């Protein structure tokens, strides 16, 4: 059993460990206990990051490359082991866990390369003889608050660019998944980073999160989590005029039109709605289907959904693991109930018993819904998708855009004209044609519009916007 200690100023700090890390596939399997840190410990981590910031800001591209490349290589070499840990503590299937671990490694590799490619602009001034240089500088200490659904990839996609662009870090991972954050920081602790550049603090978000958000020594906050927490963080950062980046919920539409390839559409929706137990902010939760294909689509998706093997995340053959915890399971079931009360026809969506005691449920499809129903307005964050029948593409697009969110939007069609129109007119940060709404590459920007995201994009070269500040220098030689 592990004791997940805080990592502050280059030292693993003994703290009273009290938060159990429980396997959602088998509650008798406790992986370890995480530190429950005080506000004072969070202050110590912030101080350590603040002290280390100038040294790392002055590091060379080669030093940054070496650190990031080391971390990426080790994660990739250990992807099976880390993927297993991930699946054990979060509940996604083993192939999904290994895939996520590999992704974390690839992210570090990508930013290792980016560390060598930091270029600025040199322009002629409008004034004779004057030269202009536009360069990027580190922001300073960046605070990171991460959720439980991607326990290694999300910390990776925040930490890697932060280090690439010369910042120091305080990471506060989600309470439910201390193991992956601990493993990641353990690798970072051997990467050659100066002490204090990366710090890890476990604890209750509501207690130590605000310390990180409000500290004057923390210059930027990158947050992924729920809408209410995100709004609170944005307000606090606004008061402090602090840089902030939020990734929050989704209610992602997948449009299926009459001319779609039925098998492809069913596969995309099955994946988008139910893989990773639907616990992805990019999950396809509103399936908007035109009437000519509606019945065939619903029948085929129902058959495919019922055939999904739900079970222990580490068991070979499992296609959908458990829900992350009892609270989330109850929330999912209550949304299914609400949908049924609002006259939706529910298929699946029941608690399941398996050999081990865990948080299992069957995937749920709610048909005969309209877009005004709660099931189509609020994010469930579980294996629950609804079907909305529409007349034609125009109505489908209008329904797709009629939402407070705007993370990912998909369409299944064989028409180039409709695909092009949808790409141009879907109100979302990411648009998918004949692909699930979830499942993105690691080297291109990630983020949404409307209530889904706030601030500049994460990942790819666009990450530089958040992790740097721009300086324009004028010289008269
Ligand atoms: P979820 O409901 O998916 O767990 P949360 O927004 O509650 O989403 O949690 C996402 C992250 O935000 C977690 O790391 C959590 O500990 C942290 N968090 C929760 N409340 C606060 C808060 N008031 N201030 C800062 N961070 C918080």
**273 vs 261: CA distance, rounded Å:** 18
Judging by DSSP bridges, how do beta strands 345-348 and 351-352 pair with one another?
unpaired
Could you tell which of 174, 203, 279, 325 is best to mutate to test the pocket of ligand 1, judged by most ligand atoms within 8 Å of the CB? 174
Q: Is 281 in the pocket of ligand 1 (CB under 6 A)?
A: no
Residue 177 has φ and ψ, to the nearest 5°, of -135, 60
pLDDT at 18: 85
**Cα–Cα–Cα angle for 162, 186, 31, nearest 5°?**
120
Q: Is 331 in the pocket of ligand 1 (CB under 6 A)?
A: no
User: Is position 281 annotated as part of the catalytic site?
Assistant: yes
Q: Which of 449, 466, 373, 376 lies closest to 408, judged by CA?
A: 449
Ligand 1 centroid–CA 280 distance in Å is: 16
Tell me how far CA of residue 407 lies from CA of 174, 357, 414, 455, in angstroms: 21, 34, 23, 13
Closest atom of ligand 1 to CA, residue 205: 16
pLDDT tens profile 232-266: 999 999 999 999 999 999 999 999 999 999 999 99
pTM for the model stands at 0.97
Ligand 1 centroid–CA 233 distance in Å is: 10
| Domains recognised in the chain with CATH numbers | 2-248+452-475 (3.40.605.10), 252-433 (3.40.309.10)
Q: Is 203 in the pocket of ligand 1 (CB under 6 A)?
A: no
Using CA of residue 322, residue 326, residue 327, residue 330, what is the dihedral sign?
A: positive
Q: Is 146 in the pocket of ligand 1 (CB under 6 A)?
A: yes
DSSP conformation class of 403 = S
Ligand 1 centroid–CA 104 distance in Å is: 21
Contact of 82 with 153, CB cutoff 8 Å: no
pLDDT at 2: 83
Closest atom of ligand 1 to CA, residue 176: 4
Marked catalytic residue, from 90, 247, 379, 458 = 247
Residue 20 DSSP SS3:
strand
pLDDT at 1: 78
pLDDT at 14: 84
Closest atom of ligand 1 to CA, residue 209: 25
Q: Name residues of the chain where pLDDT drops below 50.
A: none
pLDDT at 128: 97
**137 vs 460: CA distance, rounded Å:** 18
* Bridge partners, residue 399, by sequence: none
Q: In what order do the strands lie in the sheet with 252-256?
A: 345-348, 364-369, 384-390, 284-290, 252-256, 408-412, 430-433
Q: Is 285 in the pocket of ligand 1 (CB under 6 A)?
A: no
Which distant-in-sequence residues (6+ apart) come within 8 Å of 259 by Cβ?
A: 413, 414, 415, 418
Q: Is 212 in the pocket of ligand 1 (CB under 6 A)?
A: no
Closest atom of ligand 1 to CA, residue 174: 14
**91 vs 182: CA distance, rounded Å:** 17
pLDDT tens profile 411-449: 999 999 999 999 999 999 999 999 999 999 999 999 999
Contact of 79 with 111, CB cutoff 8 Å: no
Q: HSE-up of 431 (CA within 13 Å, CB side)?
A: 17
Q: Which of 144, 119, 147, 146 lies closest to 133, judged by CA?
A: 119
Ligand 1 centroid–CA 179 distance in Å is: 17
Ligand 1 centroid–CA 146 distance in Å is: 8
Of all protein residues, the one whose alpha carbon is nearest to atom 25 of ligand 1 is 209
Closest atom of ligand 1 to CA, residue 227: 6
């Amino acid at each position: 059993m592990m004791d997940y200690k805080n990592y502050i100023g280059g030292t693993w700090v003994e703290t009273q460990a009290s938060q159990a890390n429980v396997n959602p596939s088998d509650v008798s399997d406790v992986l370890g206990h995480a530190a429950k840190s005080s506000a004072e410990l969070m202050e110590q981590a912030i101080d350590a990051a603040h002290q280390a910031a100038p040294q790392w800001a002055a590091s060379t591209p080669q030093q940054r490359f070496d650190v990031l490349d080391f971390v990426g290589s080790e994660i990739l070499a250990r992807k099976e082991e880390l993927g297993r840990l991930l699946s054990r503590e979060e509940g996604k299937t083993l192939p999904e866990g290994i895939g996520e671990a590999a992704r974390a490694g690839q992210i570090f590799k990508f930013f290792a390369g980016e560390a060598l490619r930091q270029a600025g602009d040199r322009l002629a001034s409008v004034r004779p003889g004057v030269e202009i240089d536009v360069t990027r500088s580190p922001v300073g200490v960046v605070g990171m608050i991460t959720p439980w659904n991607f326990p290694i990839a999300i910390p990776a996609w925040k930490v890697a660019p932060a280090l690439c662009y010369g910042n120091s870090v305080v990471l506060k991972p989600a309470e439910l998944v201390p193991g992956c954050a601990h493993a990641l920081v353990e690798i970072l602790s051997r990467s050659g980073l100066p002490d204090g550049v990366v710090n890890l603090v476990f604890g209750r978000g509501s207690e130590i999160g605000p310390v990180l958000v409000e500290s004057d020594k923390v210059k930027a906050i990158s947050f992924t989590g729920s809408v209410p927490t995100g709004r609170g963080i944005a307000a606090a950062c606004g008061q402090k005029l602090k840089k902030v980046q939020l990734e929050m919920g989704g209610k992602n539409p997948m449009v299926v039109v009459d001319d779609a390839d039925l098998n492809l559409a069913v596969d995309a929706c099955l994946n988008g709605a139910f893989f990773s137990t639907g616990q992805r902010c990019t999950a396809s939760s509103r399936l908007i289907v035109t009437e000519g294909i509606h019945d065939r689509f619903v029948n085929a998706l129902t058959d495919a959904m019922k055939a999904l093997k739900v079970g222990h995340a580490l068991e070979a053959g499992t296609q959908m693991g458990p829900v992350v915890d009892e609270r989330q399971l109850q929330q999912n079931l209550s949304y299914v109930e609400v949908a049924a009360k609002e006259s939706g026809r529910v298929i699946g969506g029941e608690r399941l018993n398996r050999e081990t005691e865990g948080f299992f449920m069957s995937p749920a499809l709610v048909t005969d819904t309209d877009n005004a129903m709660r099931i189509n307005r609020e994010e469930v964050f579980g294996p629950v998708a609804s079907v909305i029948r529409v007349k034609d593409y125009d109505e489908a697009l209008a329904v797709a855009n009629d939402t407070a969110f705007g993370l990912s939007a998909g369409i299944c069609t064989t028409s180039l004209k409709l695909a092009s129109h949808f790409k141009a007119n879907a109100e979302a940060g990411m648009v998918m044609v004949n692909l699930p709404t979830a499942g993105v590459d690691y080297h291109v920007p990630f983020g949404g519009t409307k209530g889904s995201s706030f601030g500049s994009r994460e990942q790819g070269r666009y990450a530089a916007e958040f992790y740097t500040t721009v300086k324009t220098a004028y010289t008269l030689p």
